[in-house]
Structure 1
């Protein structure tokens, strides 16, 4: 079952990466040069996705966002056949994403997995 959940999680991520111009914001290496530039990117991301956080939560989420942005940038530098993007899940950890979104998607689509 773990294998199927992993495949589904990656499939969901891939599906969200197919529409980066609609669901994400563009960024490049210059946006990652300093915490100040990353903060600007984070605020731009929040505006794009209409995300609002209180001060404490915003700082906690910024740390997660930084790691995700750096991971996405490093992955995309590898020149794979698809690209990752900063979508609306950009300040969630993998565990939070799986717990909130992927697991409900898996439950709703189990009948397709069993056939």
Structure 2
């Protein structure tokens, strides 16, 4: 496993396409400002989706009320959910001054 120092070190090969969310400045500023990097946010969302995939359905597929509601939704032009489970989701943090500072200083 790479240490924290190696994760924050500048990349050995630079693409030269300007600042990006994978740049070393972005990673360093994220750590200094106490923010998650874009990669960490994506990994967290993927973990949530993977955990939600294993949740049991709360309403049986053959439940008459569910079938009636799905038929009504289809008649209105909406596609009903494939799986009826209700995961507990974490709120998405709104960007604040730290995000603007990170973007302004080096993307």
The structure with the largest helix share of the pair is 1
Please identify the structure whose Cα radius of gyration is greater.
2
TM-score (norm 1): 0.28
TM-score (norm 2): 0.30
